[in-house]
Structure 1
Amino acid sequence: MESDLEERRKRATAEGWLGEIEGVDLTLQCLRDKRADALRLTRITRQVDLGMPAVGTVQ
């Protein structure tokens, strides 16, 4: 996906499509941000919460 966007950006630059360049740049930035968020979350959430109470908290 990212490589397709890079190719699209090259073409837009060659053709002088300023609006297209801006749109592709925004999409690339969103894609990279999402990827970084996903990687960060996989490092943080290694445990799964099963919703079970801890010992001693049952009333």
Structure 2
Amino acid sequence: MPRLEKIHDNLLDRLKEGKDQGWVGEVAAIETSVAAAEDKLASMREMTAKHTTTNLGMPDFRTGTGRQTSST
């Protein structure tokens, strides 16, 4: 997520530059990329908020360990 946030910030800088320079086609493409990055970030934030860590505890292997041999 931090990497995508940096990409988003860079896209916003490029969008401002494109508007300042009058690059109409470039601005349209960057706006599309910014929207996609914002959607992805929102999705990632939502997933992060939903998922929490569940403590499953430590398994107890004491009763199931050791060798059993048959006396035949």
Give the TM-score normalised by structure 2. 0.56
Query: Equivalent residue for 1:7?
Result: 13
Give the TM-score normalised by structure 1. 0.66
Query: Where do 4+ consecutive residues of structure 1 move more than 3 Å?
Result: none
Q: Percent identity?
A: 23
Gaps of 5+ in 2: 1-6, 55-72
Count of residues paired in the alignment: 48
Q: Which moved more, 1:2-11 or 1:18-27?
A: 2-11
Query: Equivalent residue for 1:52?
Result: none
Q: Give distance in 2, aligned partners of 1:27 and 1:20.
A: 11
Say which one has the larger Rg.
Answer: 2
Gaps of 5+ in 1: 49-59
One-letter identity of the residue aligned with 1:14: D
- Higher relative contact order at CA 8 Å, sep ≥6: structure 1 or structure 2? 2
